[in-house]
Chains A and B, each alone.
Chain A
Amino acid sequence: MAIDPQNVDALVSLARCRVFAATVLWLSESDELLGQAKDAVGRALTIDPRNARALLVKSLVLAYCTEFGYRGQIQEAIDAAESAIALDHNLSGAYRWLGRLYSKAGRPERTAALVRQEMRLSPRDPDAAASLYNIGTAELQMRRYSAAISTFRKSVAENPSLAISWANLTAAYLAAGREPEARDTLSEVQKTRRAPGTGSAR
């Protein structure tokens, strides 16, 4: 940025890093970081309004900013993610994120197809456990408890330190009335929660 303040790739990456720090690392100054991310991505989009990666990061900022309510600006975030995909059909991360957004918006029936599209586009994604988390959460929302349990199990098999999947697996067991298994998985949640960077609750 010091060499080229108009560098769109740098602005987008900077914004993405700040969103990550605010939402995954849970740094205490998360509101400030999200504000900085919003500024950086705003500048990127002023220079290049049709930059798909910038629109994806904008979508993240809109969903995580709680300026207008605890749920963020979900519909605006959906619009930005859909615009990103319209501009770049191969932007795999945008499909997964859009799937998560529909789940957050109370439309979980749309999630799995989008996340599976991301998995098809990026079959070697090292973060496949997070994709499975998104599908499992949508299944939990739709009260498909057996499916959710199976999906969360696959997710933690992929990444045993992904706290968010252990947490929602516990919830799925509980909702399914399988309390002994819920208690067992709860201990995994507590173990993984102690490790830094093991998953955002958002």
Chain B
Amino acid sequence: MRVQVGLLQRGFWPYTVDGRETIRLTEALRAFQFRERLPQSGIADETTVAKLSIGAGPPRSNFS
């Protein structure tokens, strides 16, 4: 659920935060990893979670 919140705050999660690990979460993680120039595994690994820095700093928009 924390990962989805992090993705939501960065404009990568256009859905309800439901905590479910679905193909959409994998796609969202891949899109975020692409943006951050990380390997696009679709997995919430340590580096990805650190980049999401849930709860820290101002949110960043990625679409405008």
Contacts and interface: CB of A to CB of B under 8 A. Distances in A.
B5 A75 contact: no
A189 B4 CA distance: 16
A175 B59 CA distance: 13
Interface stretch (A27-35, A79-87, A88-96, A99-107): A99-107
A167 interface: yes
B1 A170 contact: yes
A164 interface: yes
Interface in B30-64: 31, 54-55, 58-59, 61-64
Interface stretch (A2-10, A12-20, A47-55, A138-146): A138-146
A113 interface: no
A191 interface: no
- The main secondary structure of chain B at its interface with chain A is loop
Nearest to B54: A175
Given A105-B11, A202-B14, A174 B2 contact: yes
A75 B62 CA distance: 12
- The main secondary structure of chain A at its interface with chain B is helix
A71 interface: yes
Given A70-B24, A70-B31, A189-B18, 15 more contacts: A70-B28, A71-B12, A74-B14, A105-B11, A105-B63, A106-B10, A107-B61, A107-B63, A107-B64, A137-B16, A141-B59, A167-B16, A170-B19, A171-B8, A175-B55
Interface of B: 1-2, 4-5, 8-12, 14-19, 24, 27-28, 31, 54-55, 58-59, 61-64
